[in-house]
């Protein structure tokens, strides 16, 4: 055992003391922060625009109401009530005289407006049918003249379409009410909506026993925390496992492997290296989680990081380090130089990145089918189960336990298979290894 620990200690020091490790430790959060920042800048640029749309008003009477709505939008609605920051683009409407009411003329006008849309002059165009004031009886199919029609190829067009529909609806309703001698003001007052408030669920604080109503802070944490924990898991395992693979290639190339195998058995050597991988991952975790906890505390959202989340995170981190550590090591033992590791590690990297691709779906619906299945598949369970655990909905206790058991079995299988690859691969020099070879080594030992 002392030997295993000697190997673990050396591996740990060799991985942690490099400049690359320290650089990635610092750069990783910066990278994440800057990509989030970049998204903000792009969004901000989008909101500062002015969008121009053409309006063909075949009723001939809605222009004043729409102009008033545009004014209200540009003066009031684009600004956030609390921050006073502008959050959506200004709108400008260009009223175009309607064509003759024949099919050919209408199509010709649409084509002309589409051409102006394509040149960038217009962001889209709105056509208000001549009969929009008529009420279509429920159940009957509305015909073209009853429609409000909007055409655009722009991705951001949906927001304007929604706004335009509301503006036209309002104006049309006012007109319909007036036609029936009903005061629009009275109707408006009566139609005042019941306010809806979205909040997360109410929880009992495990420490104080007090009931805590869902707050807006815990709402922010609900999305943020699971995402951060899952990505952290990915980064940690990568920072732990990849150096171990590189060391193995060095040991093969420098013929250190022969000396080592003269001192310890292949299995013990690998065990020592795996402990090193886990220790490196744990170091990264404690740096980030410690830092993250401090940041969360300063924002007052540290309460979401409960001891049970910490505990499960630790369990899944160790298991993930074992699974991916042994797989990367098998790659290192089989490859004869760094270039060869590139192709051999592709499947491992794919298995590792899969949960990142599913992360969005898991965050949106932590209890959904994708999330539940993904959090039980051993290769993605560490990341996705942690994300689900950190989401406010929570997970029944048996689910992480069952997933952890599955990952444990996978980890043992990976360690066993890798140790067989290890034993054969370490002394093999200068020979390219295929996946078929690897399978043979695992089968025969």
Partner 1 sequence: MGAVEIREVTKRFGAQLAVNALSLEVPEGSIYGFIGPNGSGKTTTLRMIMRILPPDTGTVRVLGTDALGSVDDRVAYLPEERGLYKQMTVSDVLEYYAALKGMRRSDARGEITGWLDRLGLAAHAHKRISALSKGMSQKVQFIATVVARPSLVLLDEPFSGLDPVNAVVLREAILKLRKTATVIFSTHDMTAAEELCDFVFMIHRGRKVLDGTLEQIKSAYGSDTLRVRLEAAHPSSLAGLTGVSEVTDLGNLQELRLGPEGRPDEVLAELMRRGSVRHFEVARPSLQEIFVRIARPEIANEHGEHGEHGHHA
Per CB under 8 A, which region of 2-10, 68-76, 176-184, 279-287 contacts partner 1? Answer: 2-10
Q: Which of 48, 61, 143, 254 binds partner 1 (CB under 8 A)?
A: 254
Question: Pairing state of beta strands 203-204 and 211-212?
Answer: antiparallel
Among 139, 193, 206, 262, binds partner 1 (CB under 8 A): 262
Site for partner 1 in 174-193 (CB under 8 A): none
3-state DSSP assignment of residue 128: strand
| Helix residue ranges per DSSP H, 345-397 | 346-364, 369-374, 381-390
Q: How many CB atoms lie within 10 A of CB 275?
A: 20
The answer to the question of residue 10 lying near partner 1 (CB under 8 A) is yes
- Cβ proximity to partner 1, 62 vs 270, nearer residue: 270
Stretch that binds partner 1, among 6-14, 234-242, 388-396, 398-406 (CB under 8 A): 6-14
What is the pairing mode between strands 90-96 and 148-151? unpaired
Give whichever of 18 and 353 is closer to partner 1, judged by the CB atom. Answer: 18
Helix axes 307-334, 346-364, angle to 10 degrees: 160
Task: Give the number of other CB atoms < 10 A from CB of residue 393.
Answer: 13
Instruction: Give the nearest distance from C-beta 247 to partner 1 in angstroms.
Output: 8
- CA atoms in the 13 A half-sphere facing the CB of 192: 5
Number of residues written out for the chain = 445
| SS3 state at 69 | helix
Q: From the CB of 256, what's the least distance to partner 1, in Å? A: 5
Of 57 and 251, which has the nearer Cβ to partner 1? 251
Min separation Cβ 430 and partner 1, Å: 13
Task: Tell me which H or E stretch contains 194.
Answer: none
98-102 CB contacts, 8 Å cutoff, 24+ apart = 98/56, 98/57, 98/58, 98/60, 99/56, 101/58, 101/130
Q: Nearest approach, Cβ of 345 to partner 1 (angstroms)?
A: 22
Task: Report the alpha-carbon distance of residue 54 to residue 72 in Å, rounded.
Answer: 18
Considering the complex, state which of residue 202 and residue 265 has its C-beta at the smaller distance from partner 1. Answer: 265
Q: Number of residues in contact with partner 1, rule: CB under 8 A? A: 20
Residue among 159, 258, 337, 365 that touches partner 1 (CB under 8 A) = 258
Smaller CB separation from partner 1, 3 or 110: 3
Site for partner 1 in 394-433 (CB under 8 A): 427
Residues 94-113 that bind partner 1 (CB under 8 A): none
Q: Which of 25, 264, 361, 442 binds partner 1 (CB under 8 A)?
A: 264
- CB-CB contact of 300 with 212 (8 Å): no
Q: By CB under 8 A, what part of segment 16-45 binds partner 1?
A: 18
Task: Indicate the SS3 state at residue 335.
Answer: coil
In which element (H, E) is residue 57 found?
strand 50-57
Is 265 near partner 1 (CB under 8 A)? yes
Q: At closest approach, how far in Å is the CB of 158 from partner 1?
A: 56
Residue 7 vs 372, nearer CB to partner 1: 7
To the nearest whole angstrom, how small is the minimum distance from the Cβ of residue 282 to partner 1? 22
Nearer to partner 1, 396 or 430 (CB): 430
* Minimum gap (Å) between residue 432 Cβ and partner 1: 15
DSSP assignment, residue 303? G
CB-hemisphere CA count at 13 Å for 32?
Answer: 14
Nearer to partner 1, 10 or 58 (CB): 10
Q: Of these, 227, 256, 309, 370, which contacts partner 1 (CB under 8 A)?
A: 256
Q: Are strands 124-128 and 148-151 parallel, antiparallel or unpaired?
A: antiparallel
Nearer to partner 1, 103 or 444 (CB): 444
Q: Which of 25, 161, 220, 260 binds partner 1 (CB under 8 A)?
A: 260
7 counts as binding partner 1 under rule CB under 8 A: yes
For the CB of residue 249, give the shortest distance to partner 1 in the complex, in Å: 13
427-437: string of b/e by CB count within 10 Å (b at 16+)? ebeeeebeeeb
d(CA 239, CA 28): 11
The H or E element containing residue 30 is helix 19-47
Query: Which residues are near partner 1 by CB under 8 A?
Result: 2-3, 6-7, 10, 14, 18, 250, 254-256, 258-265, 427
């Amino acid at each position: 055992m002392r030997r295993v620990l000697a190997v673990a200690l050396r591996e740990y020091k060799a991985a942690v003391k490099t400049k690359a490790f320290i650089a990635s430790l610092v750069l990783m959060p910066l990278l994440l922060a800057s990509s989030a920042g970049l998204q903000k800048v792009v969004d901000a640029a989008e909101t500062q625009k002015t969008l121009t749309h053409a309006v063909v008003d075949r009723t001939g009477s809605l222009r004043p109401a729409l102009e008033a709505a545009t004014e209200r939008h540009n003066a009031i609605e684009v600004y956030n009530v609390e921050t006073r920051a502008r959050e959506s683009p200004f709108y400008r409407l260009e009223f175009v005289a309607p064509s003759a009411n024949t099919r050919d003329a209408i199509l010709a006008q649409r084509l002309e407006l589409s051409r102006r849309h394509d040149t960038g002059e217009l962001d889209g165009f709105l056509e208000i049918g001549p009969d929009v004031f008529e009420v279509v009886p429920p159940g009957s199919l509305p015909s073209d003249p009853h429609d409000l029609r909007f055409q655009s190829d722009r991705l951001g067009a949906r927001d304007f379409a929604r706004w335009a529909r509301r503006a036209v609806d309002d104006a049309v309703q006012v007109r319909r009410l007036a036609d029936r001698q009903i005061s629009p003001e009275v109707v408006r007052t009566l139609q005042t909506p019941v306010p809806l408030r979205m909040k997360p669920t109410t929880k009992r604080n495990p420490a104080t026993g007090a009931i805590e109503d869902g707050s807006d802070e815990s709402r922010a944490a609900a999305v943020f925390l699971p995402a951060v924990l899952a990505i952290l898991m990915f980064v940690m395992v990568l920072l732990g496992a990849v150096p171990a693979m590189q060391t193995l290639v060095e040991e093969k190339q420098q013929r250190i492997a022969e000396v080592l195998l003269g001192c310890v058995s292949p299995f013990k050597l690998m065990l020592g290296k795996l402990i090193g991988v886990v220790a490196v991952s744990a170091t990264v975790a404690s740096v980030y989680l410690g830092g993250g906890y401090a940041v969360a505390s300063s924002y007052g959202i540290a309460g979401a990081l409960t001891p049970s989340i910490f505990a499960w995170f630790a369990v899944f981190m160790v298991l993930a380090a074992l699974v991916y550590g042994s797989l990367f090591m098998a790659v290192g033992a089989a490859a004869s130089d760094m270039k060869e590791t590139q192709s051999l590690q592709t499947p491992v990297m794919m298995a590792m990145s899969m949960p990142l691709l599913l992360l969005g779906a898991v965050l949106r619906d932590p209890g959904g089918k994708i999330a539940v299945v993904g959090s039980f598949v051993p290769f993605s369970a560490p990341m996705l189960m942690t994300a689900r655990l950190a989401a406010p909905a929570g997970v029944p206790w048996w689910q992480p336990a069952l997933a952890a058991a599955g990952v444990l079995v996978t980890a043992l299988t990976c360690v066993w298979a890798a140790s067989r690859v290890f034993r054969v691969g370490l002394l093999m020099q200068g020979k390219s290894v295929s996946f078929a070879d690897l399978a043979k080594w695992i089968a025969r030992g």
